[in-house]
Amino acid sequence: MIHRFAVGDLPCAVISDGQPEPPWEPALETFFTPGTGVPPEELRAAVAAEGRGRTTVRCGYNCLCVETPAGLTVIDTGLGRDFGGYGPEVAPLVGRFGERLAEAGFSAADAVAVVFTHLHEDHVRGAMWPGEPAFPRATLYAHAAEVAFWSGAPPSVPPDQREPALEAIRVFGERLRPVEYGVEIMPQVRAVEAAGHTPGHMAVLLESRGQRLLCTGDSFHDPLQLGHPTWRTPWDADAERSVRSRRALLEWAAAENLLVLAYHLPFPGLGRIARDGDAFAWRPIPA
């Protein structure tokens, strides 16, 4: 699945790393739990209000390729080939970014930069399979706080988060460059503050000829979080900060009618944010 479009003079392609299909879609209750501040009755009411009667999350993995004046930039890289962490039934449905990159007419050797919104394995593993850098010429970028946190992550951090991040830092070595919020990482590609999901989680803004695209990473996983911006997931490291960051990004995107790329929404993950009272609503753009 490949979706081509442009942001001003920047040719772009959303390339899907995969999307679990029924019956392998994750259950809503695994994303929105009482422990993250979502009472079961509130979740049931929100789903009923949608009118679709669903019980699962349609979880995509939407990687972005951007042809900048300085060369090809990749934003997030999916799970990588032969990922089995979600079970043997799901394994063939994900980890497809590498092969689809070639289908889109790109080579991994074309990339001069790979930008990670954060270092969870579903964003970095596609850049380090099988145990070595998958993009041989690229410089890799993550926020300085992200690199610092995972480099010294305590044992209390779940192993399925800590170990892939540490492996990425080891594999990338000196090619992994820490950046700060507000920095132009590549021409017309800028880091945006979005911490909370992880300590150095960032959004990425593309801007060209007055057009803009905001890549929100894991600021939200499901449209329900737009209608309920205080809803968190078990993977949000700093609950309060994740809520502040999510609301700030949603308010900005709605106020300025930004085109948004949501990493985990169904392919192609492109849409706009509309105000809905004190909350927001997702307006998808079809593939």
Ranges assigned E (strand) in 61-115:
62-68, 71-75, 111-115
Angle at 28 between CA 22 and CA 29, to 5 degrees: 130
Which pLDDT score, from 0 to 100, does residue 104 have?
95
With a cut of 90, say whether residue 23 has pLDDT above it: no
Question: Residues 197-213: pLDDT tens digits?
Answer: 999 999 999 999 999 99
The mean pLDDT value for 174-193 works out to 97
Domain containing 85 equals: 2-284
The mean pLDDT value for 8-20 works out to 96
Which pLDDT score, from 0 to 100, does residue 194 have?
98
Structure tokens at 190: 């800028």
The mean pLDDT value for 227-232 works out to 95
Percentage of the chain beyond pLDDT 90 is 84
With a cut of 90, say whether residue 42 has pLDDT above it: yes
With a cut of 90, say whether residue 82 has pLDDT above it: no
Which pLDDT score, from 0 to 100, does residue 261 have?
98
- Residue 118's CATH number: 3.60.15.10
Strand partners, 76: none
Which pLDDT score, from 0 to 100, does residue 140 have?
98
Percentage of the chain beyond pLDDT 70 is 99
CA dihedral 2, 6, 10, 15 (to 10 degrees): -10
Size (the chain), residues: 287
Report pTM.
Answer: 0.94
Determine if the peptide bond prior to 23 is cis (ω within 30°).
yes
Which pLDDT score, from 0 to 100, does residue 119 have?
97
What span, in angstroms and rounded, lies between the C-alpha atoms of 141 and 155? 25
Number of domains in the chain: 1
Which pLDDT score, from 0 to 100, does residue 91 have?
84
What span, in angstroms and rounded, lies between the C-alpha atoms of 126 and 14? 15
Among 275, 273, 202, 284, which residue's Cα sits nearest to residue 242?
A: 202
Structure confidence at residue 96 as a pLDDT band (50, 70, 90): very high
With a cut of 80, say whether residue 131 has pLDDT above it: no
